[in-house]
Chain A
């Protein structure tokens, strides 16, 4: 399997003060799903942002293709950002542009096609994501889940190799979550996009993730799949799995 992202001896910067574990190293292949789970407020988002190259790691390297996320070269940085898409539940759209304009904006900037072509691709993506709104509506007049799905469509217009999602099901109801999961799985399957997802949805992680990272403030545990994770005897993991009403 072709490697999409290589994490080498990495420690995230934010939880450095409490972190007593070893640096983590692993690779993410194209079409692979990696899930980041763990108790709340333990730095999961910071680890995800580190993998996305948005936070410089305290130590180690994150490499996509030949490019390291700490590169200083502007052209390389733009190339990297096109490969590594990051969308969080707080990602903001451009408030002065309507939904469709927001979706084609980044692809248009990077000159990935003519306007008609980009418009068609954006419309198709929005249909797949079940985004329904008036074409000229500004983000301020949309629901949060609509805005999130548009931000996701905007990132996917760049055809990234790795899609990193921070808490993607935060603003969706049960039906919306189900549809979004189906969309993501289809995307991984059809486009061989690697998916790194930070979520509180343990069921999704156990069912679909090939790698599970369990993040605590002190340490990050890496597992190859659900059975290895469920067989872990680490106390914090046992507590997390068995905590009633959490999932």
Chain B
């Protein structure tokens, strides 16, 4: 390799990486949108039989995860809410405390931690499930019967995961805030129990709207990435763990980027 070629290779690397990432995001976005479009075109919204897959997804993602979410919610209540109230109390910032709790716990920590649970639990399960189906020819068998995979397999998972992400975040955030406030009321000052009644006022229309949009988007992104990587498995069993790992890492990165972009949008 000549020096010119070497320099060209080294300096071209960031550009190539950027183009690859950009194309990946475009591919992923088109994939998710096509799946939902196919589902809507098939008028699945009005076909009660199509709900069974969505309901199964919600049960697996939301209901089955409740014990884990409850436990993590209690821990987070102690680690974040209780500690945050303690710190703000000591620096005399208690006047805006409920607004800070709503913004930090409700809008940032709650959705992010719930998304981590969804990625590690549901995202990985979807990749392994769809990847194995692809590997064993189950998906080919369905396609040969005229079944649209987007409509039958992908879209219900996207919709189910989006709804579940919203539901578990509401539950998770509620436990985190209430448990943290109760702890601070017991161990710091009984006046803190008052936050339980004033907390509601901190969740104005803008915060609730942003909360709903953010969580639906997180769930949709996690399931889209998982389905995309599951369907990227071709012929070898070793591809399943490889695609699972890629789906988890990429979901995390995208979630952080989207969270950052939404934070900027809310500030402006």
Contact = CB atoms under 8 A, between A and B. Distances in A.
Nearest to A53: B144
B136 A95 contact: yes
Interface stretch (A9-17, A102-110, A201-209, A226-234): A102-110
B147 A109 contact: yes
Contacts of B133: 94-95
A243 interface: no
Contact of A77 (B49, B141, B146): B146
Given A108-B49, A111-B47, A94 B146 contact: no
A106 B145 contact: yes
B141 A82 contact: no
Interface residues of A, number: 29
B142 A94 contact: yes
Nearest to A115: B49
A86 B141 CA distance: 9
Contacts of B152: 109
A218 interface: no
B1 to A, nearest CB: 37
Contacts of A74: 38, 148
Contacts of A91: 137, 141, 144
B144 A81 contact: yes
B138 interface: yes
Interface residues of B, number: 19
B146 A106 contact: yes
Contacts of A111: 47
Contacts of A79: 146
Nearest to B146: A81
A233 to B, nearest CB: 38
Q: Chain B's interface: helix, strand, loop or mixed, by majority?
A: helix
B145 A54 contact: no
A80 interface: yes
Interface stretch (A24-32, A150-158, A191-199): A150-158
Contacts of B142: 94, 105-106
A92 B137 contact: yes
A80 B146 contact: yes
A119 to B, nearest CB: 13
B180 to A, nearest CB: 40
Interface string B106-144: 000000000000000000000001001100111011111
Interface string A145-185: 00000010011001000000000000000000000000000
Contacts of A95: 132-133, 136, 138
Nearest to B150: A74
Contacts of B136: 92, 95
- A-B CB proximity, top 10 nearest: A81-B146, A106-B145, A78-B146, A92-B137, A92-B138, A92-B141, A92-B136, A109-B147, A91-B141, A82-B146
12 contacts: A52-B144, A79-B146, A81-B145, A90-B137, A91-B144, A92-B136, A92-B141, A94-B138, A94-B142, A96-B129, A105-B145, A106-B147
